[in-house]
Amino acid sequence: MNHRGLIGLVEFPLQSNYPIQVWTWRSEVGFKTWLFVLMGFVVSCASQPSDHGPEKAPLVEEKYRLTADRSAFEELRAQVPADKKIENDEAALTKQWMSDFQFSPQAVRDKFSNVVSKRRAEFQKDMDRKRESFVHKERLDRDQFSKQQDQQRAEFRSKKSTSEQNKAFYEDIEKKRKDFYEGQREQRDQFEADMRDQRKNFDDYIHEKQSAFNDDVRDYSKRYEEHLKELELAKQKREEERVRQQVHPLSTEE
């Protein structure tokens, strides 16, 4: 009997698109089995290009997100990716209000509105703080620059100088002044652009979550109404059973 030949092929799937393929080959001597491992991947898993492209930056900081407090589960969720955690926490915020029909649809809407209002207030407070900080620094820089120029003028005037030196000095002073204020205008424009982007991102985020919530609460309203009908039907049946027992009481002798 010839024992030489291919016995089989086994694939071990990895997190890569390139599995390890193991070919089993049997030799004649002692019928021992030798495994020749053919590595079917060219690049490591870590260097594979993503099918989804670069990760999309979140619209808002984590503290502005409409999420439930899930700190108690943090240890259990240690292996969950950060973006998935946030997604789960956002879903948990509203789902916990719509479980077991504990709250009416209107109560759920009120709770969501309160959370949104708190996040808006927190966001606005941070935006105001950033503006105050920027304006404060802008004013300090302007005052410091003005003092430096006054000092330079005083030092220059304390010395004798020619008309050409006067002309060169004051031209240089004026150029520095123009450059400084132009720089401040550019910084102000960039600051205002950043603030507009942050506000737009926050508004887009709230709009996105509001739309998703509206869909969820519409579905919940239907289920809530069905639940109330079931409760009412069960109540009627209990009442009918109570009346029936009063009309036809069970015989104690039976």
The backbone torsions φ and ψ at residue 23, rounded to the nearest 5 degrees and listed phi first, read -95, 130
- pTM for the predicted model, two decimal places: 0.60
d(CA 211, CA 65): 15
For 74-128, the pLDDT digits (tens) are: 666 566 666 667 777 777 888 889 988 999 999 999 999 999 999 999 999 999 9
Q: How many CA atoms lie within 13 A of 187 on its CB side?
A: 14
* Among 60, 84, 56, residue whose Cα is nearest residue 70: 84
74-88, 103-117, 147-161, 220-234: the lowest-pLDDT one? 74-88
> From the DSSP assignment, how many helices (H) and strands (E) are in the chain?
3, 3
Please give the DSSP secondary-structure letter assigned to residue 249: P
d(CA 71, CA 76): 10
* Among 92, 95, 57, 53, residue whose Cα is nearest residue 205: 57
Which pLDDT belongs to residue 89? 77
